[in-house]
Structure 1
C-alpha cells in the first residue's frame, strides 16, 4: 500500500495540480489540513478535494486557516493572513464553506499492516494551533506522543517537512503543498510505502509548479503582494 501525505495546500491550485499528478495512483491520500488561506484559488482546491473524497480513500482534517475562514475565528492571525481570511469568506461558495465547517479536527487511519495513524493539523495538545517544529527538543516530541495511542502521528501547520522517530513511533509532517517555508519553493509531500519496513518507509518529495501563475492570481485578486512574493522564496 502506498499512502500519500499532503498538507497546507493554502488555495494554491497550481501546486496541488502538480502534486496530484505524482500521488494520484496512491492507494490512500491523507491530508493534514489547511486546504485554504493565503492563495487565490480556494473554490478550485475545495471542489477538487470534495470530488476525490467521493471516489477514493481520502481523509482530511481541518486546519487553523480552514477553521478561521469557516467560522470567522481569525484571532492571533497576522494582518496579511487576516486580510486573506476576509477575502476567502467573500469569494468562497456557501457549499464550500459548509464543507470546511464539516471537516473533523482529528482523523484515524490504519494501514494494511495494522499500523495506526492519528491525523491532526497542529498537535494533540492544541489541534489547530500548536507548531511542532523539527528543531524542538526530543522531550517535547515525547510529551506530545504521550497524548497519542496510535503508532504514528501525522501533522502539518509548520510548512516544514519532518520525520521524528521516538521509540519506534513516528511524528511525520509532509511539508506544505502550497506554501513551503523551508527555503525551498517547490511543493512538498511525502509517501509511506507499507511494503517496506518502518520507520524507513517514508519518502519526502518536491515538485516544481507554475509559481508565477499562483503569484499572479494572488496579485490580481487584490490580496497582499507579500503573499505572492513569499512563494518564490519558500518562506
Structure 2
C-alpha cells in the first residue's frame, strides 16, 4: 500500500511533540493549556498517533483534538478503527495480558466513536515531513516500515539507521513504544516524546511530552513531565467495562506487565525514566 506522506512547509519557532493520547481527555486538556501558556500555535503541535486507546473518553478526546487543530499521523489504533478491524493492531503477543486487555478497551472505543471521528481518522497521513532548523524531519508511529514496530532506546542503532536512510532524514520523531527517549548518533537524532495517555512505567502518574526549539537555527529539545487530573481519568475507567489494571496504572505509574519491553527497559520499571 502506498504511504500517505504529508509535506509541511518549513516550521519555525517552538514545537510541542506528544503521542499516545489513548482516549485520556484530562491529559489532552492539560496539554492544550500548556501549549497555550507556552504560546505554541496548533500548527506547531504534532502527535505521533494513537489518539484513541485505553481510557474512557474516546469520542470526547477525538472531538477536542479536532477542535484544537493540531497535527497528527495515524497510529495503529486509528488505522484499525477506521477500517473496522476486529483488533487494535498493536502487535501484542497473542494470548498475552496486553492482548487480553485489548479485547476489552478496543471494542469499547469502537462502540463510542461517531462517524465524524472515524471520518477524521481517515484524513490522517501515515507520516509527516518538514524542514526545521535546517534539518529534514520525518514523523513515524512505530517505524517508517511498520506502524506497530516497537523501537526503544535500547533498540540497536542499525535498526534506527535504516529508517533514516529510507526517509533521507536527519531527525525522526516516533511514538508507539510508550516511553520517552532520545538517541543521537552519526549526526542523526531519534526522538520519542513519550505518551500523555499513560505513565511511563516509572512509578509516578506523570506523563511525558517534548518541546523543540530552533533558536539561532539550531535544533534543541527538552523532555517534560506533566501533571494532570489522573484521579478523574482512573475513576472514569473504573466506571466503564475497561481493564481495571490500566485504571490502576494511571494512578501508580507502574505497568501491569512488561511483556513488550526489552530487558533493559523492563529493568527500569519503577526506577524512573532513562532519557
- TM-score normalised by L of structure 2: 0.78
**Contact 1:2/1:194, CA 8 A, preserved across alignment:** yes
Aligned to 2:126: 105
Deviation at 1:138, TM superposition (A): 2.4
Provide the C-alpha distance between the structure 2 equivalents of 1:119 and 1:63, rounded to a whole number of angstroms.
Answer: 11
Unaligned runs of 5+ in 2: 1-12, 93-98, 256-275
| Number of corresponding residues | 228
Provide the C-alpha distance between the structure 2 equivalents of 1:38 and 1:208, rounded to a whole number of angstroms.
Answer: 18
Aligned to 2:106: 85
Q: In the alignment, is residue 26 of structure 1 matched against residue 40 of structure 2? A: yes
Deviation at 1:84, TM superposition (A): 1.0
> Which one of 19, 32, 40 corresponds to residue 56 of structure 2?
40
> Which one of 46, 65, 75 corresponds to residue 49 of structure 1?
65
Aligned to 2:212, the other structure's residue is in SS state: strand
Deviation at 1:197, TM superposition (A): 6.2
**Contact 2:180/2:200, CA 8 A, preserved across alignment:** no
> Which one of 159, 168, 192 corresponds to residue 149 of structure 1?
168
| Structure 1 residues 167 and 33, CA gap change in structure 2 (3 angstroms) | same
The Cα RMSD (Å) is 1.7
> Which one of 150, 158, 162 corresponds to residue 131 of structure 1?
150
Range with greater deviation from structure 2 (10-19 or 181-190): 181-190
Unaligned runs of 5+ in 1: none
Provide the C-alpha distance between the structure 1 equivalents of 2:245 and 2:67, rounded to a whole number of angstroms.
Answer: 31
Provide the C-alpha distance between the structure 2 equivalents of 1:150 and 1:65, rounded to a whole number of angstroms.
Answer: 25
| Structure 1 residues 115 and 191, CA gap change in structure 2 (3 angstroms) | same
- TM-score normalised by L of structure 1: 0.90
Aligned to 2:260: none
> Which one of 129, 134, 137 corresponds to residue 117 of structure 1?
137
Aligned to 1:193: 213
Aligned to 2:210, the other structure's residue is in SS state: strand
**Contact 1:142/1:166, CA 8 A, preserved across alignment:** no
Aligned to 1:180: 199
Provide the C-alpha distance between the structure 2 equivalents of 1:83 and 1:227, rounded to a whole number of angstroms.
Answer: 11
Deviation at 1:187, TM superposition (A): 1.8
Aligned to 1:15: 27
Q: Provide, for residues 50-92 of structure 1, a one-character-per-residue CA deviation record: whole Å limited to 9, x for no partner.
A: 1122xxxx32101012222222332545121122111111111
> Which one of 213, 231, 234 corresponds to residue 212 of structure 1?
231
Range with greater deviation from structure 2 (29-38 or 141-150): 141-150
Deviation at 1:179, TM superposition (A): 0.9
**Contact 2:200/2:207, CA 8 A, preserved across alignment:** no
Q: Provide, for residues 16-55 of structure 1, a one-character-per-residue CA deviation record: whole Å limited to 9, x for no partner.
A: 11222212321410110000011111112111111122xx
Deviation at 1:104, TM superposition (A): 1.2
